[in-house]
Amino acid sequence: MLTTDNHLLTQLSPDDQALLEPLAQEVELKQGQVLYEPLQLVEYVHFFNGGMSSEIAINRDGHQIEVGCIGHEGFSANFAVLGVDRTPHRSFMQAGTTALRFPAADLRRAMRESETLSSLLLRFTHVFMIQVAATTLADGRYKIEQRLARWLLMSQDRLGPELPLTHDFLGLMLGVRRPSVTDALHVLEGERAISTERALIKIRDRSKLEAFARDAYGAPEAEYRRLISPDWPRS
């Protein structure tokens, strides 16, 4: 049986866990570590025990914005389970963790052997696609304060109520300049939803953040509960 804190892997049947166990290698992923670069061959898929990774879209001018994030609820490089070996996106660890690493080719082979394993991994891939779509909608239709509230809720789902995040980092995630991040944080602080210290944001009142985010937050999380597990996120 797999020893893991990855919420997705714990949903597997004993038979599917036994199928994956010989393929798994536990690794440590440090904050800032790159998982893959644009259009480079991706050899491994990581199932995170904690932490959080960011999926970053980059244009030809080098402008970057986050389009999705993944923590202990899923796995990196989910395009690999679709038979794709590279992506134009970049992925790195926002917060470090340990993970179970699987060779992508071996994982695809295991999926061909088990319909239930394949179904679960493809359902998560669908949920991640919903998250990317929700990010696009938020970026196009919601104010920076609502987008920030959404992103902080997603971070809390994966990291807990204390988030080691700088203003510059949040600017990258939201695709805005640092002053815009600072102003939005001040608004959320004024509502007593969060408090901020140097390189640390603390969630004080999740319900206020949810009210502020409105419909910008919740669709991917509801889809995860519907298709994978009713008890995530746990916060």
Fold of 143-223: Arc Repressor Mutant, subunit A (1.10.10)
95: phi then psi, degrees, rounded to nearest 5 = -140, 135
CA distances from 4 to 8, 33, 48, 163, 168 (A): 10, 21, 9, 23, 33
Residue 50 DSSP one-character state: S
Q: Which residue in 34, 33, 179, 22 sits closest to 102, CA to CA?
A: 22
Tokens of 11: 């949903």
Range name among 6-20, 94-108, 133-147 with the lowest pLDDT average: 133-147
**Exposure string for 132-142, b = 16+ CB within 10 A, e = fewer:** bebbeebbeeb
Query: Which positions ≥6 away from 157 have C-beta within 8 Å?
Result: 71, 73, 221, 232, 233, 235
| Mean of pLDDT over the chain | 94
Could you read off the pLDDT of 166-218 as tens digits, one per residue?
A: 877 788 778 888 888 889 999 999 999 999 988 899 999 999 999 999 999 99
Instruction: Give 69's pLDDT tier (boundaries 50, 70, 90).
Output: very high
Tokens of 39: 């259009």
Strand ordering across the sheet containing 25-29: 25-29, 97-103, 44-48
Could you read off the pLDDT of 22-37 as tens digits, one per residue?
A: 999 999 999 999 999 9
| Domain extents in the chain | 9-137, 143-223
Position 171 scores a pLDDT of: 83
Q: Which CATH number fits domain 9-137: 2.60.120.10, 2.40.50.220, 3.20.20.70, 3.30.460.80?
A: 2.60.120.10
Could you read off the pLDDT of 105-138 as tens digits, one per residue?
A: 999 999 999 999 999 999 999 999 999 999 999 9
| Same fold across 9-137 and 143-223 | no
